[in-house]
A and B are shown apart, each in its own frame.
Chain A
Amino acid sequence: MQLTYLEAIRQGIWEEMDRDPTVFCLGEDIGIYGGAFKVTDGFIDRFGPERVIDTPIAESAIVGAAFGASLTGMRPVAEFQFMDFIGCAFNQISNMVAKTHYLWGAPAPLVLRGPSGGYVHGGPFHSQNPEMWFVHNPGLKVICPATPYDAKGLIKAAIRDNNPCIFFEHKYLYRRIKGEVPTEDYVVPIGKARLAREGRDLSIITYAAMVHTALEAAEILNKDGIDLDILDLRTVSPLDREAIAQTVKKTNKVIILHEHSRTGGLAGEIAAIINEEAFDDLDGPIVRIAGLDSAIPFSPPQEEHYLPQVSDVVREVRRLKAY
């Protein structure tokens, strides 16, 4: 069945709620309104107000309540209206939820999910990619799917996982991409990357919306005879070290591409992994393409300048290829 990225996520949560009575949803405006992006549209009619809970505008309470419920063996799925607001609940996530299994052995099977990412002119508070705040928090799984297939398979895997999972849905992809999604039950394993494109000349390691940017660049570069290997990480914590090393060993040149700010970004961590796992295989410097070290500006020309574009990828690939 062809589904949009949003529908795939929606169907994934729906099926899990259908399958498992311990799964329930909570968040702002997710009930009768169906959520700001309609991911839970129709859920309240199907599953009732007990399992589709509209909360006060209180992100710490949402996460705290989800965590508390998870301690009683429930599997809550909490929505952030925009992932930018996850900062309001940072202490609950970082100090309460993430540390709980390591410190006192209590599993916290909960999912925190919501839309993130730019390219929709949402401005500085509706366009962020705050995944790195959580990659630096041991105890959390951080998931950033790029395709409808992965989005559905990973949301189901996250709901079934016994650990706290933060699920970043790229809002630019919500209704822009469609893909084949099986009708039968399946999950995509957390922590495993996939090759979005196989090539031999140069690797691009990326995830979420940037996978599509890299794929577009690959089409242009293909005409020049440059063949890109594109690794879609799918999960940014824990990282698939093996897949990262493999692509570098194959092409010997690598670009890391992400939307969020360059400094302290995921590219730095991946560069360190390459250094540890495949240093001798490198035939050129590791190149980063990332957002600027500033807030994401609102005005379209500014936002476009801030965020990586296909043209940036094409330029950097040519530069590195010539190195």
Chain B
Amino acid sequence: MATSKKTKSDAKHGSNGHRWRNGSAQTSKPVANSDLRSYSIPDYRLEHPDLTVRQAIEKGKDGAEHVRYEVEGNLNAPVPPIRDSKYLDKKQCIEIYRYMLLNRKMEIGLENLYKQGKVVGGVYFGLGQEACSCASAYALDKDDWFAPMIRNQGALLVRGFGASDMMMQYMAKADSPTKGRDGTSHFGDIEKRNMVSPISMLGDLIPVLSGVALGARLQGRNIAALTWIGDGGQSTGVTYEGINFAAVQNLGLVLFVESNLWAYSTPSEMQYRVKDLAERAIGYGIPGVIVDGTDACQVYDAARDAVERAHRGEGPTLIEAKMMRMKGHAIHDAAAYVPKPMFEFWKKRDPIARFENYLVKEKKWLTPKENAELISDVERVIEEEREIAVNFPMPTPESAEGGVFCEDGCHEIKPKYSIPKVKKGTGGFKQTEAAVHLK
């Protein structure tokens, strides 16, 4: 390999260890007292729900005391409008709307398959989170990467997977993307769609996506690497390690923190103490923003800004999207622990109903007839995909074997983008006799 001279691209693609510590990129205003610092977290929402959940003792009909969650705050606040996107045009808005519909109808289809006894295990839903899953993935370019969490099944549809892929995964079919070896959205594709398979443990995708961005940068490309984490999942230590690594290395991680208020049965009040999780960005020295996770335009705009930042080599972004998980943790869980008024409050903020209203009534980008046609087309697609999926066979028992290792000829390992351009110093190999930690 020839040694190359320092080129412009070296600077553009950045490297480690050469940046000044800059604190939060949102930081700036010096204040009169130099001991005080100020930070800001842009908040694109058009409303700021003030609901809080706490534990309270309630007397049952039998007179026995039970500990329950109760909610406080203005539960009758008016529903905010959709914020016009800085970037999306009519066609793109309709396309995102269609993905959100596909996402929801696919999950309704999965629920039906479950009720028919065709699903192995449970079903996980992203009800109420479709805007966050779909509009964020829509902001990626072709060469970017993503790794969905369990409620981001819509993101897979946006990136080109079929609903039948997910349905076969849930039914543990022989031709599912993992050939029956795992279920749900737990699969990936490093060839075409640049997706890393999630695992059930929370936060572990964050350093991995940082590493994907690192790998690309070593090949001369600044890419965006998108993943999501819940308000529960962000409590894990690896979340900190992963974001901090991306921050220090200035890698194009785009992290959506989905504040969906419930981590299984635990309310966000018992996960963290800060007011907004976006504030954590300050501690990492990276930009943090807040969006309404039920507003596809806000989600897209914030995601696109972060993706472009990543493409410019300016480093990671943390986006907090506020919304509520509108079903239980999985299909078995009726979410009886969630105070009913919370469901009612967030039901009025349904991402699809509001986007539909925006497109049909407010913008008039879809006539009611076109909208009805679009919905029935989505239903037809899902039905076709369902038909494909259910008709596949189950795997043979013996197919549990093999594939533990990548054997000869199984994969060719080659750089995804290009062969890294290496520069080499003049120093040759010299033996070292320096002092060491333990002798």
Contacts and interface: CB of A to CB of B under 8 A. Distances in A.
Interface of A: 3, 7, 10-11, 14, 18, 21-22, 24, 31, 34, 36-38, 41-42, 45-51, 53-56, 58-76, 81, 91-92, 95-96, 99-107, 109, 120-122, 126, 138-139, 141, 162-163, 171, 174-175
24 contacts: A7-B432, A11-B429, A21-B1, A38-B434, A41-B432, A42-B427, A46-B429, A48-B422, A49-B16, A56-B241, A56-B244, A60-B238, A61-B238, A61-B242, A64-B245, A70-B211, A70-B215, A71-B211, A71-B215, A92-B204, A92-B238, A96-B201, A96-B208, A138-B404
Contact of A171 (B414, B431, B438): B438
A85 to B, nearest CB: 13
Most buried by B among A24, A72, A107, A175: A72
Interface stretch (B60-68, B179-187, B259-267, B363-371): B179-187
Given A42-B427, A72-B417, 10 more contacts: A41-B432, A55-B245, A60-B241, A61-B241, A61-B242, A64-B238, A72-B215, A104-B197, A138-B404, A141-B405
Given A47-B424, A64-B206, A103-B181, A73 B414 contact: yes
B25 interface: no
B215 A68 contact: yes
Contacts of B215: 68-74
A122 B437 CA distance: 10
A51 B437 CA distance: 24
Contacts of A103: 178, 181-182, 186-187, 197
B133 interface: no
Given A37-B437, A71-B196, A56 B245 contact: yes
A96 B432 contact: no
A81 to B, nearest CB: 8
Contacts of B414: 73
B212 A102 contact: no
B244 A58 contact: yes
Contact of B422 (A37, A47, A72, A121): A47
A107 to B, nearest CB: 4
B411 interface: yes
A92 B15 CA distance: 25
A49 B14 CA distance: 11
Contacts of A45: 425, 427
Contacts of A41: 432, 434
Interface in B392-433: 403-406, 410-411, 413-417, 419-425, 427-432
B420 A22 contact: yes
A31 to B, nearest CB: 7
B439 interface: yes
A238 B132 CA distance: 44
B52 to A, nearest CB: 32
A34 to B, nearest CB: 7
Query: Which 4 residue pairs are nearest across A and B when measured between Cβ atoms?
Result: A68-B211, A64-B207, A72-B215, A65-B211
Contacts of B438: 120-122, 126, 171
Contact of A24 (B218, B431, B436): B218
B94 interface: no
A6 B184 CA distance: 46
Contacts of A63: 207
B16 A54 contact: yes
Contact of B15 (A49, A59, A101, A122): A49
A55 B414 CA distance: 25
A121 B438 CA distance: 8
B188 A69 contact: no
A249 B417 CA distance: 52
B415 A72 contact: yes
A273 to B, nearest CB: 18
Contact of A101 (B187, B406, B419): B406
The interface centre, meaning the residue of B187, B404, B438 with most chain A CB atoms within 10 A of its CB, is B438
Given A7-B432, A107-B413, A138-B404, A68 B421 contact: no
B27 interface: no
The DSSP consensus for interface residues of chain B is loop
Nearest to B13: A50
Contact of A106 (B197, B201, B405): B197
A67 B436 contact: no
Contacts of A56: 241, 244-245, 248
Nearest to A138: B404
Contacts of A61: 207, 210, 238, 241-242, 244-245
Given A67-B211, A101-B403, A107-B410, A95 B16 contact: no
A49 B160 CA distance: 37
A162 B201 contact: no
Contact of A46 (B186, B425, B439): B425
A307 to B, nearest CB: 15
B251 to A, nearest CB: 9
A156 B242 CA distance: 29
A63 B187 CA distance: 20
Interface in B367-405: 403-405
A48 B15 CA distance: 10
A42 B426 CA distance: 11
Contacts of A68: 196, 207-215, 225
Interface in B161-188: 177-178, 181-182, 186-188
A69 B244 contact: no
A61 to B, nearest CB: 4
Contacts of A109: 406, 413
A141 B404 CA distance: 11
Contacts of B212: 68-69, 71-72
Contact of A65 (B245, B429, B439): B245
Contacts of B207: 58, 60-65, 68, 92
B42 interface: no
A73 B416 contact: yes
Contacts of B436: 36-38, 174-175
B17 A49 contact: yes
Nearest to A65: B211
A309 B238 CA distance: 40
A7 B436 CA distance: 13
Contact of A48 (B186, B425, B439): B425
A136 B197 CA distance: 22
A76 B217 CA distance: 14
Contact of B16 (A47, A53, A64, A174): A53
